[in-house]
Every structure is written in structure tokens, then in C-alpha cells.
Chains A and B, each alone.
Chain A
Amino acid sequence: MHDLPIHWPQRSPRLFLGLAALCWAGLYALLIPVSEALVALLPVARDSHAGAALQFFLYDTPKVLLLLTGVVFVMGMVNSYFTPERTRALLAGRREGAANAMAAGLGVVTPFCSCSAVPLFIGFVQAGVPLGVTLSFLIAAPMVNEVALTLLFGLFGWRVALLYLGLGLGVAMVAGWLIGRLGMERYLEDWVREMPRVRATLEAGSPALADRVDAGCHAVREIVGRVWPYILAGIGIGALIHGYVPEDFMAAIMGREAWWSVPLAVIIGVPMYSNAAGVIPIVQALLAKGAALGTVLAFMMSVIALSLPELVILRKVLKIRLIVTFVAVVASGILLVGYVFNSVL
């Protein structure tokens, strides 16, 4: 446990970062030739169904895992600049409007575990962050994150990833702003409102580069170590159903012609509770079989952003009226996203 390989990145973090970047780029460049070579070694014809599926699997799996490792590492380092405490200090006392945009943006780069939602919520409100701004942060943070964006980019291209980023931030900003306009502070639970105000202060000193590298490595172990089975499943499903289920199998129920498909996707999505990686296999399967992109993204957003267990926990700090408003506003935003996507693309 105390051997050399663990400690040298800490002693010379710059060297480690340089070498890691080189290795990463080298591996990425090797993806296509290696996957082609591997398929050539196997006893299947390259242009057969099985050959195409195998090549897809052998190329996409390492590609997405490599992308994810790189992005998660960089985000692990970036995250160390944006602790929840610092984000709170940035947002405290700001007026609604621009602060909603800022909160949504900070939600993407501030690390927190989904179970932190309630303590974070209280901590923000206590320090004088407006309710609507706090909600913008809490909506954006789980929905728009590096894992979701990387997987969308790796599997469906940068256009889909960018649209998801923009629309996710949009929903968070507008929903938070709207709830702020409604002046619903009185629907916080009484004990939350009665908690003593605290001043948002920043802890002194920032971590050294070596610590940030450490944070990056920790993030890779934590996140990639946890989500890789979902990615394998997602790509596996993509490869398997390629050609075995009729292309337009889902088109009738989830295609763009069916107007009710978007609300249905949201209604199915809300009680489901999963992280971005867990939904990817389903998203992959739906898209491959002719479901409309807007419908599928609305499904993905509602699974990640709204979940029953989270609402049960939120109930401890929000009165029922505020919860209902929260769900209604966010769900409407997601519905709108689904319809806009379906009509534009």
C-alpha cells in the first residue's frame, strides 16, 4: 500500500500530468487499429452482423471508458476548486436572476453526493442564498454532470451532449427563478426557517497541485470504478439489438409523431431512481430502436433530476406545497425540452 507508484505523482505532479496526458492520447489513437485487428483475429466475417456488432463493442467500450476516465480525472481536479462551502460563499446574498444562472453553472462543477441535497439546501438557505437560487443549484447539480455529458458525447456525439448541457442548465435556471418569483419561503419547514443565520465563510488556503492530482485519482477510482458495469451493459445492448429488433420497434410508442410520448416518458421517469450511468443502457436501447431524441432525453432528465426517494428526503425540509410546486415546475421544464427537441431535430 505504501509502494512507490502511489507516491510519485504527489512528488512531481506536473511530470505525472504530462505523462498521463501522453499515455491517454496514445491509447486513444490506438483504438481503431486495435479494435480492427482484434476483430480480424476472431473467426467472424468483418462485414457480417456479428462482425459489425463485435467491432462496435470492441471500439466503443474502450473509447467511452477512456473518455470517461479522462474527463472524470480533470473534473476531479476542477472540483477541488469548487467546494460546496466556496460555492455557498459565492452565492450568498446575491439577488435572483443572474444568480440563478450562476447557481446552475456552479451546480455542474461543485461535487456532491446525491444524499447531500438536504444538508446543502439548509446550509445554503441559512447563509442567505435565496430559495430560488438554491433550487437552481440543486436541480442542475445531479442532472448536468460530467458523467452524463461524457457518455452522451461518447455514444451519441457532441451535438446531443451540448444540447443536453444547454437545456439542462436552462431548466435549472428557469425553474429556480420561477419558484423564487412565487415567494414560497413560507413553505419551508418551520425548524429550517428558525435555524440561526450563519455567515458564509471560506476556509483559508487552497490545496496544492499534488492534492488536486490526488483528488483526480480519487474521483477516477470512485466514479469510473462504480459506473463501468453500466457502460458495458449500455454498449452491449447497443451492439446486441443492432439488427435483431426491428428498427422502428419503438417508433410507434416513443417516436416523434406520438404527442403523448413525452409526458409518458416523464411520468415513467420520475419514480425511477438512477444516476446518469444507470440510464445510459436504456437510452441507448430506446434511441437505437427509433424513439425520438427529445422523448428519450426527457426520460433521462426526469429519471436523474426528480426521484421519489429524493422527494421523500426533501419533505423533511419543504412543506408539501413547495414540493408539489417544485416537481410541477421541473417536470414542465423537462416536458418543454422534450417537445422542443422533437420539433427541432
Chain B
Amino acid sequence: MKNVKVMGTGCANCRRTAALIEQVAAVAGVEIRLEKVEEPRDIMAYGVMSTPGVVVDGEVVHAGGVPAREKVERWFGA
């Protein structure tokens, strides 16, 4: 089970990022708990300045824009 957080104040890119992660994780057969972090205060706590940002198991792995599918696949070892 991986803990995935998508940071962003709720724009279309953030939603696309979350959908992409869910889809890739499902294809890779990895179980995830996906959480959306939308409060600026909580986003800043991770030091993420450009959203959408992605945190996997407490580690910031991506910031600034929708990640490429290949990048997401690497997080889930696909």
C-alpha cells in the first residue's frame, strides 16, 4: 500500500494528475491510498511551490504540472 498525496488548489491539472495516478496504479496492480491536499498551508508544509505536486510515502517526487505517464509508472515500479 502506497500513500500518495496530490497537492494543488483544485484546478483541472490537479484533477488530471490524480486521475492519471489512479489509472497507472490500477494497471500496475499497486494498491494506493490517494489523498488530495488542497489547503495552501498544507501544501507549503511540503515545500512544494509549483503545483500539481505529488508526494509518495512522504517524499516529494514531482512538482509543477501534470507528470508524464512514464514518470508515474516509475513510482509504481511498472
Residues of A within 8 A of B (CB): 83-85, 88, 111-120, 122-123, 126, 191, 195, 198, 218, 222, 313, 316-317
User: CB-CB < 8 A to A83: which residues of B?
Assistant: 50, 64
Asked whether B49 lies within 8 Å of A84 as measured between CB atoms, the reply is yes
Asked whether A85 lies within 8 Å of B49 as measured between CB atoms, the reply is yes
User: CB-CB < 8 A to A119: which residues of B?
Assistant: 7, 9, 40, 43-44, 48-51
User: CB-CB < 8 A to A123: which residues of B?
Assistant: 44, 49
Asked whether A116 lies within 8 Å of B49 as measured between CB atoms, the reply is yes
Write 5 A-B pairs (CB below 8 A) sorted by A numbering: A83-B64, A116-B50, A222-B65, A222-B66, A316-B40
Asked whether B9 lies within 8 Å of A112 as measured between CB atoms, the reply is no
The 0/1 profile, CB within 8 Å of A marked 1, for residues 1-40 of chain B is: 0000001111101100000000000000000000000011
User: CB-CB < 8 A to B74: which residues of A?
Assistant: none
Asked whether A115 lies within 8 Å of B66 as measured between CB atoms, the reply is no
User: CB-CB < 8 A to A198: which residues of B?
Assistant: 47
Asked whether A118 lies within 8 Å of B49 as measured between CB atoms, the reply is no
Asked whether A115 lies within 8 Å of B11 as measured between CB atoms, the reply is yes
Distance in angstroms from B7 CB to nearest chain A CB is: 8
User: CB-CB < 8 A to B10: which residues of A?
Assistant: 115
Report Cα–Cα, A122/B45, bound state, in Å. Answer: 11
Asked whether B49 lies within 8 Å of A195 as measured between CB atoms, the reply is no
User: CB-CB < 8 A to B52: which residues of A?
Assistant: 113, 115
* Main DSSP-derived SS at the B contact region: loop
User: CB-CB < 8 A to A85: which residues of B?
Assistant: 49
Known: A118-B9, A123-B44. A111 touches B64 (CB 8 A): yes
Which residue of the partner chain A has the closest CB to B10? Answer: A115
Q: Which of A111, A113, A118 contacts B40 (CB 8 A)?
A: A118
How many A-B contacts at CB < 8 Å in the complex? 67
With A113-B8, A120-B49 given, name 4 new contacts (CB 8 A): A83-B64, A88-B49, A113-B14, A115-B52
Asked whether B64 lies within 8 Å of A116 as measured between CB atoms, the reply is yes
Asked whether B65 lies within 8 Å of A115 as measured between CB atoms, the reply is no
Of residues 49 to 65 in B, which have CB atoms within 8 Å of A's CB atoms? 49-52, 64-65
Distance in angstroms from B75 CB to nearest chain A CB is: 16
Asked whether B65 lies within 8 Å of A122 as measured between CB atoms, the reply is no
Known: A84-B49, A84-B50, A313-B9. A113 touches B41 (CB 8 A): no
Distance in angstroms from B35 CB to nearest chain A CB is: 17
User: CB-CB < 8 A to B44: which residues of A?
Assistant: 119, 122-123, 126, 195
Asked whether B13 lies within 8 Å of A115 as measured between CB atoms, the reply is yes
Q: Which of B8, B64, B68 contacts A84 (CB 8 A)?
A: B64
Distance in angstroms from A36 CB to nearest chain B CB is: 39
User: CB-CB < 8 A to B41: which residues of A?
Assistant: 191, 316
Distance in angstroms from B70 CB to nearest chain A CB is: 8
Report Cα–Cα, A85/B43, bound state, in Å. Answer: 16
Asked whether A115 lies within 8 Å of B9 as measured between CB atoms, the reply is yes
User: CB-CB < 8 A to B47: which residues of A?
Assistant: 198
Report Cα–Cα, A317/B39, bound state, in Å. Answer: 11
Report Cα–Cα, A238/B47, bound state, in Å. Answer: 46
User: CB-CB < 8 A to A116: which residues of B?
Assistant: 8, 49-51, 64
Which residue of the partner chain A has the closest CB to B63? Answer: A84
The 3 A-B pairs of least Cβ separation, nearest first, read A115-B11, A123-B49, A118-B40
